[in-house]
Amino acid sequence: MAQKEKPMAMKERLLVEATRLFARHGFEGTSLQVIADAVGIQKASLLYHYSSKQALREAVLDGLLEHWKDTLPKALMAATSGENRIDSLMAEVFVFFREDRDRARLLMREILDAPELMQERVTIHLTPWVRLLTDGIRLGQREGRIQALVDPEAYIAALCISIVGSFAAGEVAGGLLGVSESPVERGVMELLRMAKSSLLVQGACAPSSEQEHPAEKQQE
């Protein structure tokens, strides 16, 4: 059966424009009128496609998160070792947000607007995959390839937040980078370097599995 083309196109166009506008000006800062104007229909017509502003918001957010349902499993299962899996994760997250920085902006806004709700979503959908990564890190730690002081769950969490934050807000700090052509990407590249450098044991000069006495733990 041939799908009706124009109606589908209109609903999709509304979703795209809403995503862009919510990301740039926030949910409360974007009226249904300006979304309707952006696609060239009346506000009341928008409400035929999405029955309320809240419904549109959820469709926008779903459209963002849905991407990971396939991508994340594929990327993580393709890689074998813990280090490779983290590389895969970083690569996927990097590509996804670089493709359209509005994704990072929107995600950050949603987290700020409804933290507990977003936490629930993240916990439910991501926990098993994060487990895969942290298991790999712990294995790497036992085998001496990964730094002993790494806190696996916190490492993954901090890394993801930092990447999203850098894409969402990087241009601001980019003012400090001088006249760099792409300050955001340069910031994220440095972030990825930091992530790798602070994960792997690099100065493995001696084959000893031991490294650095854990002297300066401050909270016992």
Chain residues binding DNA by CB under 7 A are 6-7, 10, 30-34, 40-45, 47-49, 51-54
Cβ-contact 42, 36 below 8 angstroms: yes
175 binds, among DNA, a copy of itself, none (CB under 5 to 8 A by kind): a copy of itself
For a copy of itself, how many residues bind (rule: CB under 8 A)? 67
Nearer to a copy of itself, 13 or 165 (CB): 165
What is d(CA 57, CA 22) in angstroms, rounded to the nearest whole number?
8
Tokens of residue 114, six digits: 């409804």
- Residue 146, beta-bridge partner list: 200
Determine if 147 is a binding residue for a copy of itself (CB under 8 A): yes
What is d(CA 131, CA 126) in angstroms, rounded to the nearest whole number?
9
- Residue 124, beta-bridge partner list: none
Determine if 144 is a binding residue for a copy of itself (CB under 8 A): no
Taking CB under 8 A as the criterion, the residue among 16, 38, 41, 169 binding a copy of itself is: 169
Please calculate the CA angle 128-134-135 and round it to the nearest 5 degrees.
90
Inter-CA distances, 159 with 82, 103, 166, 214, Å: 15, 17, 10, 23
59 binds, among a copy of itself, DNA, none (CB under 5 to 8 A by kind): none
Determine if 148 is a binding residue for a copy of itself (CB under 8 A): no
Taking CB under 8 A as the criterion, the residue among 7, 29, 40, 73 binding a copy of itself is: 29
Cβ-contact 120, 78 below 8 angstroms: no
Residues that bind a copy of itself (CB under 8 A): 25-29, 105, 108-109, 111-113, 115, 118-120, 122-123, 126-127, 130, 147, 149-151, 153-158, 160-162, 164-166, 168-178, 183, 186-191, 193-198, 201-206, 212
